[in-house]
Every structure is written in structure tokens, then in C-alpha cells.
Amino acid sequence: MDLFVNAIVAGILLGAFYAAVSVGLSISFGQLDIVNIAHPAFVIVGSYIAWILNSRYGLDPVLVGVLAAPIFFIVGALIYRIYYAAFERTGQESLSGLAFFFGVMFIIEVVLILVYGVDYRLVSAGYLSKNVDLGFVGLPLRLVVPFLVASAMTGAVWLYLSRTFTGRAILAVAQDRLALQLMGADPVRIKQFAFGLAIATTAIAGALLIMIGPVEPSLGRVYIGRAFAIVVLGGMGSIPGMVIAALLIGVLESLVSSFAGPSWAPAVAFGALLITLAVRPSGLFGRA
Amino acid sequence: MLKTRADKIFWAVLAAVFLGGLALTELVANEYYYTAIYAILQATIMAVAWNILGGFTGYVNFGSAAFFAIGAYTAVALDKWLGLPLPFLIAASAAVCGLMGLGVGYLTLRLKGVYFAIATLAMAIVLETFVTNWEYVGAARGVYILTPEKVPFFRSYIQLLFVVMLALTLGSIAISRALNSSRIGRGLAAIRDDEVAAECAGVPTLRLKLISTTVMGAMMGVAGAPYPFFVTFVDPLSAFNLFVAVNAIAMPMIGGTAHWIGPVIGALVIGGAQEAITVTISSELNVLVVGLMLVLFITLAPQGIVGLVQKWMKRRKR
């Protein structure tokens, strides 16, 4: 029973972190229709930046994530520029655009391997080894801190999209591009901004990833399935739906790895994705 | 079969290449050359297979490595269980991977193309997890395969596998060419250009897409089946290698996807360059070069090498 409660609590903490990894993809894939397979690769880059600054200067990983986010934003905006000019304008995003992001993902992974090798990397911070005891269950801070930061970031993105003028413009570009153009707004600029925002979230998500556990360059591949499963399951671009899907996947994975062994955990998200695609492609909360 | 002049030239070239391969086994004993050419042949089959769905039909398969690995593991499992001879193993791998292609296609090809791409990626990870936990074929540790010391007609088993692979490669090129110029090929091109219009014009889109995923899967299985016997060891990490999937996409994209010759040219150019870079510089760098070339070609020359040559020939005619 104790094991069960522990697994569920750990699953919820992990699920909130999965939401932080997926929130950017929910914007780029769910809202903008840009199938950014390289999204998890940027998360890994975020982890490596946190590792470098943490091991050299002892900076706190969360702080590094927040500081790196603006740089990631600019990189994301630049990538969208290239993507727009090469594929979206010519209507080739379905084949060449997909292959483009696949290539970007592959290049990021290979460059990380070439420069830093395939060793697992860790960050250290005083609080990461401590526990919070809630009586019935002990919570490691290395899961609690990412849970709090992830929830704050996901919540902030959701508030931004639903309350602010630019945020609503991003939702509008997803719904009706032409209408937006007739209102005098430039859809390309809004998409560029939104894609930058999506990539910026990976800087923080990456810092959280390396706090939870050690990171190596090819770890991103497992997160491709997780993040896409969560976005599709959540109903493509609905952020509350995405959060519920992330918690669901987190708890399921945690249960599977406590009761069937950790080597089966990666199959959970992918299995969920395949079943969702086959049975209800509009997701749990999408309109059918 | 030999209706036009182009047909005659095509079959003559295939026969010449095959005879050239046979002659090579008589003349050259150094096994390095067979290993290098085998790698290029394997990549050629994968590229040709990927292009049947990716180039002719316009659907992206990211899970090529999974088809390849399942082909390899089907052969390993049947070899261990029944000890069947190689041709049966290849046929069985083709059947298993063809069914796998049909299954994934049936589940996702009715949706938007993006979902098919993501589903193939997901399938690769699920299957890798299963094979990693499958004790019968060595699980994560991998499995060693014993190959016969002496074989009839050839100096070594490596040479025999090399000739088998050459025949399989030429066969898949012939199938791809036949598909490209047949009624099916025209139907696939119609799907690629505008699926809704094709459907309205009476093209049986779902059936054609399922045919092309099945053929693609079967060919990738065929490419994987002899692999464990060639390297005599296979583990999930090497069989489900992302590099296999990247090559399968990069070679047709760089060669040119619209024409059957595109993936062949891409595989020869990239495969040859890879072998050269591996020997002269390093094997890690060659992986990076493929990634960079893929991104550069699809952003700057989306029609690939074939497209560049066609453009150049048009300009010369003027």
C-alpha cells in the first residue's frame, strides 16, 4: 500500500514536470501546426547549459534556466524564420518541414555527443539531496522543486495565452489565419513570437530535467513520444487538457516502473499515443 | 518486361552490376571492401524503401530503424528456433515487416500525415522496449550468431552475403521503378500532390497508401534480415540505431524524392562519402555530416540532386 501511495505521489510530481516539457510543444504543435520533433532536443540543450554553468560557477539550475530562456526565445524565433521561408511559404511543411526538424534534432544530439561525450551529467545544489516528510510519505526535494517551478511556468504560460492581447492573438492565428490578417495583424510575426516562446520554455524544462535525474544526449528521444503523447491526448493545444494528460502519463509511468520494472516505463507514453491515435485522435478533451 | 529502350538499358545495367559483383568476389579477397559495399547496399535498400512511401506518396516514416531491427530480429529468432536457411529467413522478415507496415498504416493513415510520422516514431520506441526485454534473443545484452565457416561457390560467408545483398538491392530498385511508372505509382503521385482531389477523382487513396506502407515495410525487413549474420552479433542498441532512420530519410531527400533513381543516387553519394569520411577522419564526424547535409538540402535544394540535374539540363537546352 505504501509503495502504491508513493508511486502515485511520485507520478503526480513527475507529471507536472512532463507538463512543463510539453507546454512548448502544445503551443508549436497544438496551436501553430508546426511539428517540432526537435522540441525535446532543445530541452536537452537546456539541461546541458544548466550543467555547464552549475558545475563551473555553482549557479542554481533554476536560475540558469530562467536566464537562458530569453536566448532560447531568440533562437526559436530565428528557426521559425528559416522554417517559414523554406517550407511554410512554399507549402512543403508536411514532408520537408518534418524532415527538417528531424535533421535539427539529430544535429543537436550528435554535436552534444561530439563535444561532451555520452556520459551522464548531473547538477548539484544544496537542497537537491534533502527530503520533505509529510508523515505518510517522504518527498525528495529533487522532485518537489521541479514540481513547483514546472507548475508555476505552465500556469504562467496558460494565463499569458488566455488573458493578454498577444496571447489571444496566438490562439487566434491557430483558429483563423485569414481573419487575423483582415484584422490588420501579421500572422507570420505572431507565429514567430509564439514559436520563440515555445522554445524558451524548453530552457527552463531542461534545467528541471537535470535536477530530477542525470542527463545524456540521447535522452531526448524518449521525451519525443512522451511530449507528443501528452499533447495529442490533451486535445491538441488545450493547455488544461495537456496538464491532465501529463499527470495521467506521469502516474501511469510511475506505477508501471514500480510494479513491472523501470525498463518498461518508456512504452507507457508511446502505447498511450498509439492507442489515442487509433481510437480517439481528437484526444481526451478535443472536439471530436 | 522489355517493352521500351529505357527498359532494355535498365535491365542491362542491373545485369552488368550483378555480374560485376560476382566478378569482384573472384578478384578481391580483402574483406574490408565487402563490409564497406555491404553497408552502402543496405542503406540503398532502406532509402529505396523509404522513398516508396515518403517520396512517391508523401508520408514521412521516422521509424525505419524499427522495421530494419524487426527484420533482423525475426531472422535471428527463426534461425535460433527452427534453423531455417537464409532465403526463408529473408522471406519471413519481409512478411513480418510488411504486416507491421500494414498495421501502422491501417491505424494512422486515415488521419493527417503528421500522425503517421509520430506513430512510426512511437512504434520504434515501443518495439525497442519489447526487444530489450525479450530474453529469447538476448534482451539488452544482444546475441551472437554462428555462421558457417565454409560455403559453396564463394571464399567466405561474407562474400556469399554480399552477393545475396547485391541481388536484394537490385531487386528492390526494380520493384521501386516498376511501382513508379505503373498505375499504382500514378495513384500515389496523385495522393502526394493533393489527396482530397485524388479521392474525388476516384483514386482508392487508403488502399494505395496501405499497399505502399506494406511494400515499404517488407523491403526494410529484407534489408535487416541478413544484417545479424553479416556482423555476427546484434543487440537492440545497434539494430534500433537512430542513424539507420536518419540515413533512410537523408538519402532520398538528398538524391531527390520524386523519381525512383533519386534514393539510389543519394545512397551511393552519401554512403560512399560516409565510408570515405569514416576511413579518413572519424566515424562520429560522418554522422554529423549526414545531418548537416540533410538540413542544407531540404532548405536550399528541396528537389535533391535529381532536381538540380534536371534544372541544369533544362537551362542547357535553351
Nearest-by-Cβ selection for B129 from A96, A98, A263: A263
Q: Is the pLDDT of residue B233 over 60?
A: yes
Q: Which three cell numbers stand for residue A166?
A: 498577444
pLDDT recorded at residue B91: 92
What is the SS3 assignment for B146?
A: coil
pLDDT cut 90: percent of chain B above it: 22
* Residues in chain B within 8 Å Cβ distance of A37: 62, 121
To the nearest whole angstrom, how far is the Cα of A267 from the nearest Cα of chain B?
Answer: 5
Q: Which three cell numbers stand for residue A26?
A: 502544445
* Cβ of residue A264 closer than 8 Å to a chain B Cβ: yes
Q: Which three cell numbers stand for residue B67?
A: 522495421
pLDDT recorded at residue B277: 85
Instruction: Count the Cβ atoms, other than its own, within 10 Å of residue A129.
Output: 10
What is the spatial distance between Cα A62 and Cα B130, in angstroms, rounded to a whole number?
A: 36
Q: What is the mean pLDDT of residues B32-57?
A: 89
- Mean pLDDT value across chain B: 86
Residue B153's pLDDT band, with cuts at 50, 70 and 90, is confident
Instruction: Please indicate whether, in this complex, the C-beta atoms of A263 and B133 are within 8 angstroms of each other.
Output: yes
pLDDT digit of tens for each residue in chain A (288 aa)?
Answer: 677 888 888 889 999 999 999 999 999 988 888 889 899 999 999 999 999 999 888 888 899 999 999 999 999 999 999 998 888 887 776 778 888 998 999 899 989 988 988 888 888 777 777 777 776 677 788 888 889 999 999 999 999 988 988 888 888 887 777 777 777 778 888 899 999 999 999 999 999 999 988 898 888 888 888 898 899 888 877 888 899 999 999 999 998 888 887 777 777 887 888 788 777 777 776 654
Instruction: Please indicate whether, in this complex, the C-beta atoms of B125 and A113 are within 8 angstroms of each other.
Output: no
pLDDT recorded at residue B263: 92
Chain A residue at shortest CA distance from B124: A270
Residue with cell 522532485: A143
CA-based R_g, chain A, Å: 19
To the nearest whole angstrom, how far is the Cα of A46 from the nearest Cα of chain B?
Answer: 20
Instruction: Please indicate whether, in this complex, the C-beta atoms of B122 and A94 are within 8 angstroms of each other.
Output: no
- Please, what's the b/e burial string for B87-101 (b: 16 or more CB within 10 A of its CB; e: otherwise)? eebbebbbebbbebb
* Residues in chain B within 8 Å Cβ distance of A225: 121-122, 125
What ipTM, to 2 d.p.?
0.82
* Cβ of residue A91 closer than 8 Å to a chain B Cβ: no
* Ranges of each domain in chain B: 41-317
Instruction: Please indicate whether, in this complex, the C-beta atoms of A94 and B113 are within 8 angstroms of each other.
Output: yes
Residue B2's pLDDT band, with cuts at 50, 70 and 90, is low
Parallel, antiparallel or unpaired: strands B233-234 and A138-140: unpaired
* Cβ of residue A266 closer than 8 Å to a chain B Cβ: yes
Q: Which of A106, A109, A111 to mutate to test the interface with B (most CBs of B within 10 A)?
A: A106
Residues 6+ apart with CB under 8 A from A205: A17, A20, A21, A23, A24, A43, A46, A65, A150, A153
The stretches of chain A forming alpha helices (DSSP H) are 2-25, 39-57, 61-83, 98-116, 141-163, 165-175, 177-182, 187-212, 220-233, 239-259, 265-279
A58 by Cβ neighbours in 10 Å (0-12 / 13-18 / 19+) ranks as exposed
Does domain B41-317 fall under CATH 1.10.10? My reply is no
What is the spatial distance between Cα A271 and Cα A282, in angstroms, rounded to a whole number?
A: 16
pLDDT recorded at residue B173: 93
Nearest to A40 by CA among B241, B51, B244, B125: B125
For residue A282, the surrounding DSSP H or E stretch is none
Chain B residue at shortest CA distance from A106: B291
Residues 6+ apart with CB under 8 A from A71: A203
Q: Which of A95, A116, A236 to mutate to test the interface with B (most CBs of B within 10 A)?
A: A95
Name the range with the highest mean pLDDT among A84-88, B41-45, B295-299: B41-45
Identity of the amino acid at A281: P
pLDDT recorded at residue B1: 56
Question: B47 vs B163, B231, B266, B278, CA distance in Å?
Answer: 19, 21, 8, 20
pLDDT recorded at residue A130: 77
Nearest-by-Cβ selection for B299 from A86, A114, A263: A86
Nearest to B164 by CA among B153, B150, B175, B177: B153
Q: Is the pLDDT of residue B314 over 80?
A: yes
* Ranges of each domain in chain A: 2-220
Instruction: Count the Cβ atoms, other than its own, within 10 Å of residue A218.
Output: 15
Chain A residue at shortest CA distance from B298: A96
Nearest-by-Cβ selection for A278 from B60, B107, B242: B107
